[in-house]
Chain A
Protein backbone atom coordinates (compact mmCIF):
# COMPACT_ATOMS: atom_id res chain seq x y z
CA UNK A 1 0.00 0.00 0.00
CA UNK A 2 0.89 3.67 -0.06
CA UNK A 3 3.49 4.96 2.38
CA UNK A 4 3.80 8.70 3.03
CA UNK A 5 6.86 10.13 4.79
CA UNK A 6 6.93 13.70 6.05
CA UNK A 7 9.87 15.89 7.08
CA UNK A 8 10.78 17.61 9.27
CA UNK A 9 8.80 16.51 12.32
CA UNK A 10 9.35 19.91 13.93
CA UNK A 11 10.16 23.26 12.34
CA UNK A 12 10.78 26.59 14.02
CA UNK A 13 11.01 29.82 12.01
CA UNK A 14 11.08 33.52 12.73
CA UNK A 15 8.02 35.54 11.87
CA UNK A 16 8.24 36.74 8.28
CA UNK A 17 10.49 33.88 7.15
CA UNK A 18 9.38 31.07 4.84
CA UNK A 19 8.63 27.51 5.93
CA UNK A 20 8.89 24.41 3.76
CA UNK A 21 7.54 20.96 4.62
CA UNK A 22 8.30 17.99 2.39
CA UNK A 23 6.54 14.69 1.82
CA UNK A 24 7.42 11.65 -0.24
CA UNK A 25 5.09 8.90 -1.35
CA UNK A 26 5.74 5.39 -2.56
CA UNK A 27 2.93 4.57 -4.99
CA UNK A 28 3.39 6.19 -8.39
CA UNK A 29 -0.34 5.76 -9.03
CA UNK A 30 -1.21 8.29 -6.30
CA UNK A 31 -2.85 11.31 -7.90
CA UNK A 32 -4.38 13.46 -5.16
CA UNK A 33 -2.32 15.29 -2.52
CA UNK A 34 -4.04 17.39 0.16
CA UNK A 35 -2.47 19.33 3.03
CA UNK A 36 -4.12 19.82 6.40
CA UNK A 37 -3.48 22.22 9.28
CA UNK A 38 -4.36 21.14 12.82
CA UNK A 39 -4.51 23.73 15.58
CA UNK A 40 -4.59 22.82 19.25
CA UNK A 41 -7.90 21.33 20.31
CA UNK A 42 -9.24 21.14 16.76
CA UNK A 43 -9.43 18.61 13.97
CA UNK A 44 -7.28 18.88 10.83
CA UNK A 45 -8.48 21.48 8.34
CA UNK A 46 -7.86 21.24 4.59
CA UNK A 47 -5.74 24.21 3.51
CA UNK A 48 -4.70 23.32 -0.03
CA UNK A 49 -4.64 20.34 -2.36
CA UNK A 50 -3.12 19.41 -5.70
CA UNK A 51 -3.83 16.77 -8.31
CA UNK A 52 -1.23 14.98 -10.37
CA UNK A 53 -2.01 16.84 -13.57
CA UNK A 54 -0.69 20.06 -12.00
CA UNK A 55 2.86 20.87 -10.87
CA UNK A 56 2.17 23.81 -8.61
CA UNK A 57 -0.76 25.53 -6.94
CA UNK A 58 -0.87 28.77 -4.95
CA UNK A 59 -3.33 30.32 -2.56
CA UNK A 60 -2.10 33.62 -1.12
CA UNK A 61 0.85 32.81 1.17
CA UNK A 62 0.54 29.05 0.70
CA UNK A 63 1.80 27.03 -2.25
CA UNK A 64 2.19 23.34 -2.97
CA UNK A 65 4.56 21.82 -5.54
CA UNK A 66 4.48 18.30 -6.90
CA UNK A 67 7.30 16.35 -8.53
CA UNK A 68 5.74 13.16 -9.89
CA UNK A 69 9.03 11.78 -11.17
CA UNK A 70 10.67 12.00 -7.77
CA UNK A 71 7.39 11.22 -5.97
CA UNK A 72 7.55 14.11 -3.61
CA UNK A 73 5.46 17.17 -2.88
CA UNK A 74 6.06 20.17 -0.67
CA UNK A 75 4.13 22.85 1.20
CA UNK A 76 5.56 26.36 1.13
CA UNK A 77 4.38 29.08 3.49
CA UNK A 78 5.76 32.56 2.88
CA UNK A 79 5.78 35.56 5.23
CA UNK A 80 4.93 33.33 8.17
CA UNK A 81 2.85 34.70 11.01
CA UNK A 82 2.38 33.43 14.59
CA UNK A 83 -1.10 32.16 13.68
CA UNK A 84 0.54 29.79 11.19
CA UNK A 85 1.84 27.83 14.21
CA UNK A 86 0.14 24.41 14.09
CA UNK A 87 0.71 20.81 13.06
CA UNK A 88 0.64 20.26 9.30
CA UNK A 89 -0.18 16.94 7.65
CA UNK A 90 0.32 15.85 4.08
CA UNK A 91 -1.64 13.01 2.51
CA UNK A 92 -1.75 11.04 -0.73
CA UNK A 93 -4.37 8.90 -2.39
CA UNK A 94 -4.88 7.12 -5.66
CA UNK A 95 -8.43 5.91 -5.43
CA UNK A 96 -11.44 5.80 -3.23
CA UNK A 97 -10.82 4.99 0.47
CA UNK A 98 -7.06 4.92 0.11
CA UNK A 99 -5.97 8.23 1.69
CA UNK A 100 -2.67 7.92 3.60
CA UNK A 101 -1.38 10.63 5.92
CA UNK A 102 2.12 11.68 6.88
CA UNK A 103 3.09 11.77 10.56
CA UNK A 104 2.84 15.56 10.75
CA UNK A 105 5.12 18.58 11.16
CA UNK A 106 4.84 20.85 14.17
CA UNK A 107 5.52 24.39 12.92
CA UNK A 108 6.33 27.13 15.41
CA UNK A 109 6.51 30.72 14.21
CA UNK A 110 8.36 32.92 16.70
CA UNK A 111 7.29 36.56 16.90
Chain B
Protein backbone atom coordinates (compact mmCIF):
# COMPACT_ATOMS: atom_id res chain seq x y z
CA UNK B 1 0.00 0.00 0.00
CA UNK B 2 1.21 3.47 -0.86
CA UNK B 3 -0.60 5.30 1.89
CA UNK B 4 -3.34 6.48 -0.46
CA UNK B 5 -6.36 4.17 -0.45
CA UNK B 6 -9.07 4.27 -3.09
CA UNK B 7 -12.41 2.49 -3.01
CA UNK B 8 -13.96 0.78 -4.77
CA UNK B 9 -11.26 -0.82 -6.97
CA UNK B 10 -13.79 -1.58 -9.69
CA UNK B 11 -17.15 0.00 -10.48
CA UNK B 12 -19.69 -0.70 -13.20
CA UNK B 13 -22.51 1.79 -13.44
CA UNK B 14 -25.34 2.65 -15.78
CA UNK B 15 -25.64 6.05 -17.36
CA UNK B 16 -28.47 7.03 -15.04
CA UNK B 17 -26.82 5.88 -11.81
CA UNK B 18 -25.26 7.99 -9.09
CA UNK B 19 -22.13 6.68 -7.43
CA UNK B 20 -19.15 8.02 -5.49
CA UNK B 21 -15.44 7.27 -5.49
CA UNK B 22 -13.55 7.59 -2.24
CA UNK B 23 -9.92 8.43 -1.56
CA UNK B 24 -8.20 8.48 1.83
CA UNK B 25 -4.66 9.39 2.85
CA UNK B 26 -3.00 9.48 6.25
CA UNK B 27 0.37 10.77 5.10
CA UNK B 28 -0.17 14.24 6.51
CA UNK B 29 -0.29 15.69 2.99
CA UNK B 30 -2.06 18.99 2.37
CA UNK B 31 -2.86 18.56 -1.32
CA UNK B 32 -5.06 15.98 -3.03
CA UNK B 33 -5.82 15.39 -6.69
CA UNK B 34 -8.15 13.52 -9.01
CA UNK B 35 -6.72 12.27 -12.32
CA UNK B 36 -8.35 10.42 -15.19
CA UNK B 37 -6.26 7.79 -16.97
CA UNK B 38 -7.51 6.57 -20.35
CA UNK B 39 -5.75 4.15 -22.66
CA UNK B 40 -2.92 5.69 -24.70
CA UNK B 41 -3.52 9.20 -23.34
CA UNK B 42 -1.56 11.25 -20.82
CA UNK B 43 -2.86 11.49 -17.30
CA UNK B 44 -5.57 14.15 -17.23
CA UNK B 45 -5.77 16.38 -14.19
CA UNK B 46 -9.36 16.85 -13.07
CA UNK B 47 -9.35 18.57 -9.68
CA UNK B 48 -6.85 19.89 -7.16
CA UNK B 49 -7.52 20.53 -3.49
CA UNK B 50 -5.21 22.32 -1.09
CA UNK B 51 -6.15 22.23 2.58
CA UNK B 52 -9.71 21.22 1.63
CA UNK B 53 -10.11 24.13 -0.74
CA UNK B 54 -10.49 23.51 -4.46
CA UNK B 55 -7.73 25.32 -6.30
CA UNK B 56 -8.26 23.97 -9.78
CA UNK B 57 -11.13 22.62 -11.82
CA UNK B 58 -9.65 21.61 -15.13
CA UNK B 59 -12.71 22.13 -17.37
CA UNK B 60 -14.32 18.98 -16.08
CA UNK B 61 -18.00 18.36 -16.96
CA UNK B 62 -20.45 18.98 -14.15
CA UNK B 63 -21.42 15.29 -14.09
CA UNK B 64 -18.23 14.93 -12.01
CA UNK B 65 -18.50 16.61 -8.63
CA UNK B 66 -15.61 16.56 -6.14
CA UNK B 67 -15.85 16.91 -2.39
CA UNK B 68 -13.08 17.32 0.16
CA UNK B 69 -14.51 17.28 3.70
CA UNK B 70 -11.06 17.31 5.33
CA UNK B 71 -7.43 17.07 4.29
CA UNK B 72 -7.44 13.26 4.56
CA UNK B 73 -10.47 12.46 2.44
CA UNK B 74 -11.49 13.19 -1.13
CA UNK B 75 -14.60 12.07 -2.97
CA UNK B 76 -15.66 12.14 -6.59
CA UNK B 77 -19.42 12.04 -7.04
CA UNK B 78 -20.61 10.70 -10.37
CA UNK B 79 -24.02 11.12 -12.03
CA UNK B 80 -25.41 10.66 -15.53
CA UNK B 81 -22.05 9.59 -16.92
CA UNK B 82 -21.34 8.68 -20.54
CA UNK B 83 -19.61 5.55 -21.87
CA UNK B 84 -16.57 7.70 -22.79
CA UNK B 85 -16.12 8.42 -19.09
CA UNK B 86 -15.00 4.81 -18.62
CA UNK B 87 -11.40 4.99 -17.40
CA UNK B 88 -9.11 4.49 -14.43
CA UNK B 89 -9.64 7.29 -11.91
CA UNK B 90 -6.58 7.96 -9.80
CA UNK B 91 -6.35 9.88 -6.58
CA UNK B 92 -3.02 11.35 -5.49
CA UNK B 93 -1.69 13.42 -2.63
CA UNK B 94 1.41 15.51 -2.04
CA UNK B 95 2.94 17.56 0.74
CA UNK B 96 1.95 20.80 -0.94
CA UNK B 97 0.35 21.57 -4.30
CA UNK B 98 2.58 21.15 -7.35
CA UNK B 99 6.29 20.78 -6.93
CA UNK B 100 6.56 17.68 -4.85
CA UNK B 101 6.34 14.03 -5.76
CA UNK B 102 2.83 12.66 -5.76
CA UNK B 103 1.70 9.52 -3.96
CA UNK B 104 -0.96 7.79 -6.04
CA UNK B 105 -3.61 5.33 -5.00
CA UNK B 106 -4.25 2.18 -7.03
CA UNK B 107 -7.23 3.75 -8.76
CA UNK B 108 -10.85 2.90 -9.41
CA UNK B 109 -11.52 1.16 -12.73
CA UNK B 110 -14.84 2.67 -13.86
CA UNK B 111 -16.98 1.19 -16.61
CA UNK B 112 -20.07 3.07 -17.73
CA UNK B 113 -22.60 0.89 -19.53
Contact = CB atoms under 8 A, between A and B. Distances in A.
Contacts of A4: 42
Interface residues of B, number: 25
Interface secondary structure of B, over-half rule: loop
B2 A98 contact: no
A88 interface: no
A49 B42 contact: no
A43 B2 contact: yes
B27 interface: no
Given A31-B99, A97-B97, A44 B42 contact: no
- SS class, residues of chain A in contact with chain B: loop
Interface residues of A, number: 24
Contact of A99 (B90, B96, B102, B106): B102
A104 B42 contact: yes
A58 to B, nearest CB: 17
A97 B98 contact: yes
Contacts of B106: 41-43
Nearest to B58: A97
